[in-house]
Amino acid sequence: MIRALTFGMFDLLHYGHLRLLERIARLSDRLIVGLADDELAAANGKGPPFYDFDLRREMLMHTRHVDEVVRHGGPIDGHGRVRLVGEKIRLVRDLRIDLVVMGDDWRGEYDFLNEYCRVVYLTRTPGISTSEIRRRLSESCDRT
Ligand code: CTP
């Protein structure tokens, strides 16, 4: 029984997210998402998420890949990117996680968890991101 955990904001759920979740589900028996709460999502410098925590959670649970969503947040310990090292370690231990998987834009950033579980980075799907969707939508609104 392999228990996998991935972290993220998963705002405006898109095919890049779905392809990552599908690949993690294939590597594991149970996939848990540590979903950034609204405060943590806003602290990453991109403004507040479009969908609030409950809606982002609901959409993830409607995918066929995700078994459980847990809230990820806490006192912010920003070192460039907001890392919440202690909180991530606590989740990995409490949830008895075997494997943490992230897209490779995070390569190296989760290596501190190697002490507690296996850490894998998967290739990010090119050409799509929440920021890109937001940028393109606001450009098309500006044109009308
Ligand atoms: N991800 C991916 N492929 C993409 C976009 C995201 O594999 N095209 C992965 C990220 O690497 C991360 C997870 O999905 O492991 C959640 O990413 P998140 O930051 O919530 O989504 P992004 O679309 O990257 O959002 P943003 O544009 O705000 O960075």
Give residue 83's pLDDT. 74
pLDDT digits (tens, 9 = 90+) for 14-60: 999 999 999 999 999 999 999 999 999 888 777 899 999 999 999 99
Does this model's pTM top 0.85? My answer is: yes
Query: 102 CA to middle of ligand 1, Å?
Result: 9
Whether the CB of 13 sits within 6 Å of ligand 1: no
Q: What is the DSSP string of 22-52?
A: HHHHHH-SEEEEEEEPHHHHHHTTT-S-SS-
Does residue 41 line the site of ligand 1, with CB under 6 A?
Answer: no
Ordered structural domains, the chain, with CATH: 3-143 (3.40.50.620)
Residue 64: pLDDT above 70?
A: yes
Amino acid at position 1, single letter: M
Best residue among 5, 9, 88 to mutate for probing ligand 1, ranked by most atoms within 8 Å of CB: 9
Helices (H), 65-129: 85-94
By alpha-carbon position, which residue is closest to atom 9 of ligand 1? 103
Q: Pick the atom of ligand 1 nearest to 134's CA.
A: 27
Note the pLDDT tens digit of each residue in 87-125.
Answer: 999 999 999 999 999 999 999 999 999 999 999 999 999
User: What pLDDT was estimated at residue 82?
Assistant: 61
